[in-house]
Amino acid sequence: MAKQMHKTPMLDELEKGPWPSFITGIKRLAQSEGKPYADMMKDLLGQLEHSYETRLGYWKGGAISVLGYGGGVIPRFSEVADKFPLSSEFHTLRIMPPAGMHYDTKTLRKFCDIWEKYGSGLIAFHGQSGDIMFQGCRSENVQPAFDEFNEMGFDLGGAGPAVRTSTSCVGAARCEMSCYDEQKALRECINSTLDDMHRPALPYKFKFKFSGCANDCSNAIHRADMAVIGTWADDMQVDQAEVKNYVKKLGRKGIIDQVISMCPTRALSLNDDDTLDVDNRSCVRCMHCLNVMTKALKPGKKRGAAILVGGKRTLKVGDMLGSVVVPFMKLEDDEDYEALVELGQKIIEFFAENALEHERVGEMIARIGLGTLLEGLEIGVDPNMINHPRTNSYVRIDGDDWEAEVEKWNERKAAAAE
Amino acid sequence: MHPVLVENKGNWKWHDRPQPGVLHHVSYSGDEVWTVKAGTQRQMDVYTVRKLCDIADQFADGYVRFTVRSNIEFMVTDEKKVQPLIDKLKAEGFPVGGTGNSVTMISHTQGWLHCDIPGTDASGVVKSLMDELHAEFIREEMPNRVKITTSCCQINCGGQGDIAVNVQHTKPPRINHDLVAGVCERPSVIARCPVAAIRPAMVNGKPSLEVDEKKCVCCGACFPPCPPMQINHPEFTRVAIWVGGKHSSTRSKPTFHKLVAANIPNNPPRWPEAADVVKRILRAYKEDAKAWERVGEWIDRVGWPRFFELTGLPFTKFHLETWKGGRPALNASAQVRF
């Protein structure tokens, strides 16, 4: 006889309302009699209802991996296995998605087939690090499930103190604001650091994220140890005829209120003939005016990215934003992308050698100072790296050191002028 | 990836939004693509995934993409297919929206369904909130886009949001001294504490840890490496609401979210008290903010006194920043608002 469904009055409440319900989905799996996962999902629902009743979680970690890998599987063992034995093991396989999270349905259907065979039938698109999360696998099925995903060309993502799975925005694939090839940058950076993803040996996690412009649709600045955020170094492109159309549509007051006054650096003004005047030297490439007037304005032609390091979430000292270490890196030809990959590797290397255990890049910078990191990366300082110079007067400057630094600045300026 | 996206990669000219839930991109080559965006429950069963695949095969040449906030996007090259696709998605229970100035899908974490340290559920909170905010998902009536995040512990994997619904532990961890020596690497637990409140101790003749409860800020950072230091509690694990987080460098620089309401009950299965605060903030923002102002930018303009007045939320001593780097959060000027 088929195993009975547990009573789930609280979870049943989550089947009401207009938004798609994950509970309805899990129930569908639990009621797929004859499928290998049906009874496991019944007990999963039982455990989840138990969590809702008692307001506590009941999963604990462990150590599970696949051959040749040190991470990428999130082991979950139930602490209430006596009550819900069939979902006592409910591991997640983190699988790296394609950059931009584009799929054809053939791939998605194959994922479903594999996960019906070895797992629970429950898949999350996607986790906060970008992974496809295949949730709910018994220990003995982890290896065969991974083998089939691997056969399809997919690989495990990161977990633990490792390079993590990465995300990019939709980027050049479908966005006119894109300032570089986000998909290429992601693939090349990740492919070159796979060892550090699959064999966790870093002080703590390391995340790359790629956004094509300052709108930062991949949420890189708060979430990535190395954020690659698209920008341009020449003048923005303006189609004045289209600007006039926007003035017609929104009115002069509309344009002044919604575009001109909202420019953070007062770099815009509306001319008497309804064309736009742009002070490109003051423009910080924030994207606001481009977002409002999508037909009239576009990034410049000399495109690339700003590189910021040290963004992270709360644990343990609070959130940190990434800080600029490279204000502009041209990303046009293969050599440029190689330089990006090299920079990523250098940052990871410095992090591996200098961070304390369980310290993120941002915390390391707070401890050692940005100057020390820049020296390690052999990058010269740039005023684009700061909001303002120091305000604290207690700084030791031995006379000759100052002159030596001035010399470096002059050399860099001379080199840039060539 | 959809062949039209492959062909036009890096060659897009402009885009607009013909209606909520639909993006329209035009390439220099003259190709056009309409993207229809729909909300999902993120944790999907294979039947749901296959249903989405059927829809993609029927309308979108068999291609889809997901956004970082777990919305699904269908790309079509024939404008005539847009409305039938929208109708089909709606009929199958997938809300169409999430574009432009809407409240888009809430980014969230694993919660009781799968995390080992959660103080609340994530999928359940998000499902409950999105039911309440459904109308704002399918419309574009907000002053600017609104990104809501939830987090099921104080690590806040959910991220920065215009509005963030986060767990807040309110009592120090309760220690099972019998288990500490066997389970926890004591020095690394001690190192994990941001306020140095944890010390090694011998309890009942066994090596264990103790917490200086006066110092403890109840962050829960000790719990992941040392589960016998239980931080979660059915009553004392609460919910707090934060506002004004922003990732983009658009107009203003990126910002962190700020605490506005705390001590909200962690109340499954529908978390009505948290939803009320979220809706109250959204209502005030929708009525009072100017076009293009994100939640944090709106507050920057009107000021915090007005924020608390418009939302009716109380302002307490717990809103004051108290850690040693916190003075820049205080008003060091004679600029005041009445």
Note the pLDDT tens digit of each residue in B188-209: 999 999 999 999 999 999 999 9
Cβ A161 vs Cβ A204: under 8 Å: yes
Chain-chain contact of A57 with B48 (C-beta, under 8 angstroms): no
Of A13, A103, A135, the CB nearest to B64: A103
Complex prediction ipTM: 0.93
Of B15, B47, B251, the CB nearest to A264: B251
Of B2, B119, B156, the CB nearest to A314: B156
Cis peptide before A316 (omega within 30 of 0): yes
What pLDDT does residue A297 have?
97
pLDDT > 90? residue A373: yes
Determine contact: B197 vs chain A, CB below 8 A. Answer: no
The answer to whether the Cα torsion of B314, B318, B322, B326 is positive or negative is: negative
Note the pLDDT tens digit of each residue in A241-284: 999 999 999 999 999 999 999 999 999 999 999 999 999 999 99
Amino acid type, B316: T
Of A20, A172, A223, the CB nearest to B94: A20
Cβ B115 vs Cβ B108: under 8 Å: no
Note the pLDDT tens digit of each residue in B121-131: 989 999 999 99
Q: Angle at the Cα of A261 (from A257 to A264), degrees rounded to 5?
A: 140
Cis peptide before B268 (omega within 30 of 0): no
What pLDDT does residue A252 have?
97
Q: What is residue B115's three-state secondary structure?
A: coil
The stretch A222-231 carries a mean pLDDT of: 96
Cβ A99 vs Cβ A116: under 8 Å: no
Taking the CA of residue B322 and the nearest CA in chain A, the distance in Å comes to 13
In percent, the amount of chain B with pLDDT more than 70 equals: 100
Taking the CA of residue B202 and the nearest CA in chain A, the distance in Å comes to 25
Chain-chain contact of A59 with B115 (C-beta, under 8 angstroms): yes
Which among B108, B114, B271 is the top mutation candidate for probing chain A, defined by the most A β-carbons within 10 Å of its own β-carbon? Answer: B114
How far the first Cα of chain B sits from its last, in Å, is 54
- Six token digits for residue A353: 């050698």
Chain-chain contact of B160 with A219 (C-beta, under 8 angstroms): yes
Chain-chain contact of B188 with A18 (C-beta, under 8 angstroms): no
pLDDT > 70? residue A221: yes
Which of the residue ranges A108-112, A170-174, A333-337, A395-399 would you say has the lowest mean pLDDT? A395-399
Determine contact: B18 vs chain A, CB below 8 A. Answer: no
Amino acid type, B35: T
Mean pLDDT over the full length of chain A: 95
- Scanning A133-192 for CB atoms below 8 A from B yields 135, 167, 169-170, 172-176, 178, 181
Q: What is residue A281's three-state secondary structure?
A: coil
Distance CA B170, CA B211 (A): 14
What pLDDT does residue A393 have?
92
Note the pLDDT tens digit of each residue in B270-328: 999 999 999 999 999 999 999 999 999 999 999 999 999 999 999 999 999 988 888 99
- Scanning A264-283 for CB atoms below 8 A from B yields 264
What pLDDT does residue B251 have?
97
pLDDT level of residue A1 (50, 70, 90 thresholds):
low
Note the pLDDT tens digit of each residue in A280-336: 999 999 999 999 999 999 999 999 999 999 999 887 778 899 999 999 999 999 999
What pLDDT does residue B156 have?
80
Residue A232: exposed, middle, or buried by beta-carbon count in 10 A (0-12, 13-18, 19+)? buried
pLDDT > 70? residue B259: yes
pLDDT > 70? residue A200: yes
Of A76, A170, A321, the CB nearest to B114: A76
